[in-house]
Structure 1
Amino acid sequence: MISLPLAVVAVPNTLSVVAGLLPPDLAGAGLMRTHGLALPALMLAVPLAVALTRRVPAAPLLVGALALVAVSDAAGGYAASELLVGVVRVLRGLGSGGVLAITLVAVWDRAPVLRGLWAGVFAMSLLTAQALALWPLDEVTSWRVTLQPYPMVTGIALGLAAVHLVVWMMAGRPVGEGFERGELKRLLLLLGPVAVVAAAAVSTASAGWRSGAVMLIAALAVTGLLGLASVGGVHRRVMAYVMVAVGVVLLPSAAQVTMAEMGGLGGPGLRGLWVAYTVAGVLAILAAVAVRLLARGGGRWLVPLGLLAMVVGLCSVRLVVPSADGMVLTVPFSLLAVGAAVAVTAALQEVGVGAAAYGLTLCCTGVLAGFLLGAGVQMAMLEGVRSPQELVDGFMGALHWWALISGFLMVAIIVLAALTARRPGRDPAVPETPCAGPLEPTDVLLVSAPAGDRLAAEAPGVAEPVVTWGSLSPGDKPAPAVPPPGQSPEDSGSR
């Protein structure tokens, strides 16, 4: 799990913090744009990495993804042009996206606590990504630190992954859970919309864009993500809505609060925030593990509860930020992180690994859409500022407007998820009837009653049961035959 924060820390674009250290021939909007390529690359890497896990085991893929991150760390020390900076950031994004996707697949069919641990650490990583990206930049003397923030942690994570690979090879781990029919194709089809959002976001980094146009593009991106989330059965839709909400809101909100609490703006600075981050992160992990262990199969009601906790956290941001006391921020940080961890864990319990990977892709794309929307709000609030005090007031006003906008967005998604739960839809977990074919010796007739009526197969006068063909491996015992309605088992045996 040490690799999850390492992957998410690649998301924030922190080059502007060390703009004063840039050489004259590199300073400019072009370098800022290429430095921001990590998140678009991460978004595209998630579905591709999941698709690779269908062909290659997760253990060697994880080593490969962390190796890409390590290569980007090493190359970052030699980057001296916009092209090289772009290559380094793309490599880091690809490796980080691979880490997110592969770790999700790797924990899926393991002990239940691991899946909860993944969700909790993922929520904690989104909360702390901006702070972790800024931490190495305190009193630095080289701008290249932004390209290699945690080389030692990368080495440790790569070493642990290599040890896991050796253990996996010696133990002969079983094959993980497969995708449902059509899930892999549906996941890969996301590459098109994700690429469109990435291209639109990168284009806005150029000069000449107005705040209204940026916010419009961001709103269209969020609407498109919610449209993509509306595909599939009830559980799949609810899970996808949750992942979009968490992606759009959590990291962009935490990033703005972190920047607002920097020492230059009157806040306690990063040193004064570490307790609040630690408490919120630990609570998020504990909450996710508890949901996974204690609410298995019955935690659907926890999804709206978690999202509502995030709404309360956004309301508290408007009340307590800015604050000179870092401990006060424990309240909004904990509400945001714990709410996201609970909602994600509860939603993932209802779907398979393919649908979970679909939601993760939407979540990562939502992060970019959230940053884009927040940037548009900041541009609108900072237009025409003429003094340092106006700059601070505009920045804080943008944060408060962002909390209001994202809060209403969360409420809208909660309502949308509730309406989705009432609307009928077929989940992939419901077996489909394949085309008729020759009956093999190992085939067995499976009879399942219509959904919601366990006795339908035995009660006369009700709908006919749905018949599908399943397959038994040699040595398995066939299930006892279920007689048709109105026929006794003795009559069935005599025929």
Structure 2
Amino acid sequence: MAVPPMQPARGVAAGSADLARPLRASLMLDVILGLLVAVTLPLAIVAVPNTISVVAALLPPDVSQVEMVRAHGLALPAMVLTVPLAALFLRQVRAVPVLVAGLALLALADAAGGYAGSASLVGVLRALHGVGAGLLLPASLVTVWERSAVLRALWAGMLAVSLTAAQALALWPLNEVRSWRVTLQPYPMLTGVALVLAAVYLVFWIRSGEGSASPEVMRGGRLPVAAGSAAAVATLALGTTFDWPPGLLVLVAVLSIIGLFLLASASGFGEGAGRAPAYTMLVVGVVVLPTAAQVTNVELGGLSGPGLSGLWPAFLVAGVLGLAAAVAVSRLGESTAPLCAAGGLAVLVAGLCAVRALLPTAEGLALLFPFALLTAGAAVALTAVLRPSGVGVALFALSLFLPGILSGFLLGTGVQLTMLRQAETPQAMVDAFVGALHLWALVGGGLVVATIVLGAALARRTVVVGAGAVEDEASQEGAAGNERSVSVPAPAPPVDSAPSPVGSAGDDRSAEEAEEEGPDGAVPETGPGRDPGAAGAPEPGTLPVVPPPTPSPEGALGDGADRP
């Protein structure tokens, strides 16, 4: 007897193939998006440093260096204004097209940078850089939030790596250049690669059917207020470029930081749900990039440091450690998030202590400790606070991040200018740079410690409030249970009454079950001795532009650049 072929097996194989196809498409989207995040975040953050003073000797003689520095510094204020406005815009549209638009603006600014010839055109192009970078940050954040926890960790880790390496990445293309326009297009090829990756991701995203879905609703938040605060900080930063005294500059920076922390405290996401991410992203913005920028400038060859070539091994190791730490934190349970966030900030404090204890140094390997601690601490803290957060909470925290960077540059520049004005000799200038770095590390460490204390107090208050809510709910349920347990026992039947049919032959119900029946034989939903949660029971209710970054110490010591 012949055995017929097993037709169902073909169906199973076909079903498996149909199931594997969308899985492969999803994996492909994740891989492309991961590469895109790894490229776009450094491109966005590298727009922050103002490096035109390093190539001041190459500027045309008829161009004002002061006006050029002020125009070149427009990128950061433009980013500060763009991020909260883009976050509001992303409530209505999908993030992927916005991501592509941001990269297109960067590519356009890079292409036009080779034709800039005046301070006004430089200002326009740098503002365009800032707008493009300001679109990239929130759009990439929302895009990874729609995918997986690992991509969220990659986003946070790459943001931390970009912060520590931004100043070095901005200075690297300026080594032995012959044109000052390189500052306007530092990495045009990398921008082109990112734009191609974004276009490929857009095509795959549309073909997968995800592009037809409506954007995720982002509830809560104070994004309009954050936009107003960003505008205020950016306006103050622009004003400080007009010869404000260092003391007033420091005062403005301190008031800006205090105002941003007050805004973070007033976040409208409930007890602790939005404040912890806002506090953490704000303090990381204030401390990490301004610190890394000062360390990079101090360790250039002009101050007997190892120079840029000696910095890259430390940056490479720090980047790997930061990404590994972020991914490791993403694998832990959400209950460990507060502890991990506090631990990451503590590591950040250790990095600031290493800056104060080990720098300056002529050994490139010694820089591994401060850079690795700064990067890993920021990556762990950002991943821990953003992982359990909704996308609206993350966008609000990001809207405070760029104003924090700008305020940090204002404060760090004010400290530097205060100490540099007292320097009259080259050695005194070297000592002023180093002294300003050490003082800044002390100020930054104190700010991070204060943030840790705020976070601990917030977590304790949240636990107390939550416990009180649980107790109130338990007491209400107990009172309701007591009300349900009160009942009047049915009167016993008379002794001489006729025998009840209950228990008679042919009826196997007990007398207790019959007593619970109503007149029509229905069993009531609740009553004495019956579980109220049984079937039928109702469910219970429910820098500048800002003063320019200090010129390269190498330039300050004899390459023709002006002293600050």
The residue number in structure 2 matching 1:470 is: none
Distance change in 2, residues 1:460/1:148 (3 Å): same
Aligned equivalents of 2:303, 2:69: Cα separation in 1 = 23
CA-CA distance at 1:205 after TM superposition: 1.2
**Contact map agreement 1:29 1:206 (CA 8 A) in 2:** no
Q: Select the residue among 303, 310, 316 that pairs with 2:341.
A: 303
Q: Select the residue among 99, 109, 119 that pairs with 1:72.
A: 109
The residue number in structure 2 matching 1:445 is: none
**Contact map agreement 2:227 2:399 (CA 8 A) in 1:** no
The residue number in structure 1 matching 2:425 is: 387
Aligned equivalents of 1:463, 1:43: Cα separation in 2 = 55
The residue number in structure 1 matching 2:385 is: 347
Distance change in 2, residues 1:244/1:491 (3 Å): closer
Deviations 1:99-146 (A, max 9, x none): 111000000121110000100001000110000000000000011100
The residue number in structure 2 matching 1:218 is: 253
Q: Does 1:238 align with 2:244?
A: no
Aligned equivalents of 2:535, 2:45: Cα separation in 1 = 63
Aligned residue for 1:384, secondary structure, equals coil
The residue number in structure 1 matching 2:460 is: 422
**Contact map agreement 1:109 1:176 (CA 8 A) in 2:** no
* AA of the residue aligned to 2:217: G
Distance change in 2, residues 1:44/1:425 (3 Å): farther
Deviations 1:171-228 (A, max 9, x none): 0115554212x33xx2122111111111111111122x21110000000010011001
Q: Does 1:229 align with 2:264?
A: yes
The residue correspondences of 1:43-442 to structure 2 (distance < 5 A) are 43-173=80-210, 174-175=213-214, 177-180=216-219, 182-183=220-221, 186-207=222-243, 209-231=244-266, 232=268, 233-424=271-462
Aligned equivalents of 2:371, 2:287: Cα separation in 1 = 12
- Worse-superposed segment, 169-178 or 319-328: 169-178
Q: Report the number of matched residues.
A: 454
Distance change in 2, residues 1:463/1:177 (3 Å): farther
Distance change in 2, residues 1:131/1:450 (3 Å): same
Aligned equivalents of 1:425, 1:40: Cα separation in 2 = 38
CA-CA distance at 1:423 after TM superposition: 3.0
Bigger radius of gyration, 1 or 2? 2
CA-CA distance at 1:493 after TM superposition: 4.9
Aligned equivalents of 1:73, 1:161: Cα separation in 2 = 17
CA-CA distance at 1:51 after TM superposition: 2.1
Aligned equivalents of 1:176, 1:398: Cα separation in 2 = 47
Structure 1: give runs of 5+ residues left out of the alignment. 431-448, 465-481
* AA of the residue aligned to 2:233: V
* AA of the residue aligned to 2:366: V
* AA of the residue aligned to 1:195: A
Aligned equivalents of 2:481, 2:191: Cα separation in 1 = 59
CA-CA distance at 1:459 after TM superposition: 4.1
Aligned equivalents of 1:329, 1:25: Cα separation in 2 = 40
Aligned residue for 2:93, secondary structure, equals coil
CA-CA distance at 1:359 after TM superposition: 0.6
Aligned equivalents of 2:162, 2:472: Cα separation in 1 = 43
CA-CA distance at 1:455 after TM superposition: 8.1
**Contact map agreement 1:242 1:347 (CA 8 A) in 2:** yes
CA-CA distance at 1:246 after TM superposition: 0.1
Aligned residue for 1:461, secondary structure, equals helix
Structure-1-length-normalised TM-score: 0.87
Aligned equivalents of 1:29, 1:388: Cα separation in 2 = 23
Deviations 1:293-315 (A, max 9, x none): 22334322111111111111101
* AA of the residue aligned to 2:99: L
Aligned equivalents of 2:532, 2:478: Cα separation in 1 = 11
**Contact map agreement 1:261 1:268 (CA 8 A) in 2:** yes
Aligned residue for 1:25, secondary structure, equals coil
Q: Does 1:488 align with 2:527?
A: no
CA-CA distance at 1:490 after TM superposition: 5.3
The residue number in structure 2 matching 1:35 is: 72
Aligned equivalents of 2:150, 2:214: Cα separation in 1 = 19
**Contact map agreement 1:297 1:349 (CA 8 A) in 2:** no
Aligned residue for 1:299, secondary structure, equals helix
Distance change in 2, residues 1:393/1:484 (3 Å): farther
Structure-2-length-normalised TM-score: 0.77
Aligned equivalents of 1:40, 1:316: Cα separation in 2 = 31
**Contact map agreement 2:334 2:388 (CA 8 A) in 1:** no
CA-CA distance at 1:451 after TM superposition: 4.6
Aligned residue for 1:345, secondary structure, equals helix
CA-CA distance at 1:25 after TM superposition: 1.9
The residue number in structure 2 matching 1:460 is: 478
CA-CA distance at 1:53 after TM superposition: 2.1
